[in-house]
Amino acid sequence: MSGNRTFTMIKPDAVIAGNTGGITKMIEAAGFKIIAMKKTQLSAALAGKFYEVHKARPFYGELVAYMSSGAIVPMILEKENAVEDFRKLIGATDPKKAEPGTIRAVFAKSIDANAIHGSDSDANAEIEGSFFFSQFERF
């Protein structure tokens, strides 16, 4: 199934705002099947580990604090060309630059509290999906 799965998580701003349903509706309407999903909250230590690739970037500390500040909804998604198509569906990191109709254009509050994560490669989709789900939790 290489190339057909990606990982996403709805971030704390969107969960708190009550947009979990609106976002999963857009994901399914775009043709993605939800293979695994749960609601959970990251400790600062785990959020730091998840975003370790960004450790050197100036926003790392704030990102870790924000991502551990409330509930999140991680999911594994399936569709042909999943990683690339899902990045298109979520739009640019900064919602002001996101294409109209993308999830971030509709739901994101700011460049940091930007509603949703999407993996940037097949390899990272596998790593990030495995961070939250075991094989037995995948449909």
Q: Any idea which residues carry the catalytic annotation?
A: 117
Helix (H) or strand (E) holding 126: helix 122-132
CB-wise, 39 or 96, nearer to ligand UDP?
A: 96
Radius of gyration of the chain from its Cα atoms, rounded to whole angstroms: 14
CB-wise, 59 or 101, nearer to ligand UDP?
A: 59
CA–CA separation, 126 and 139 (whole Å) = 15
Q: Which of residues 71-130 bind Mg ion (CB under 5 A)?
A: 120
Residue 93, contacted partner among Mg ion, ligand UDP, none, CB below 5-8 A by kind? ligand UDP
Q: How far is the CB of 8 from Mg ion (least distance, A)?
A: 11
Phi-psi region of 116 (alpha: psi -120 to 50; beta: other; left: phi over 0): beta
CA–CA separation, 57 and 23 (whole Å) = 28
Among 78, 84, 85, 120, binds ligand UDP (CB under 6 A): 120
Residue 102 is a binding residue for ligand UDP (CB under 6 A): no
Residue 59, contacted partner among ligand UDP, Mg ion, none, CB below 5-8 A by kind? ligand UDP
CA–CA separation, 62 and 85 (whole Å) = 28
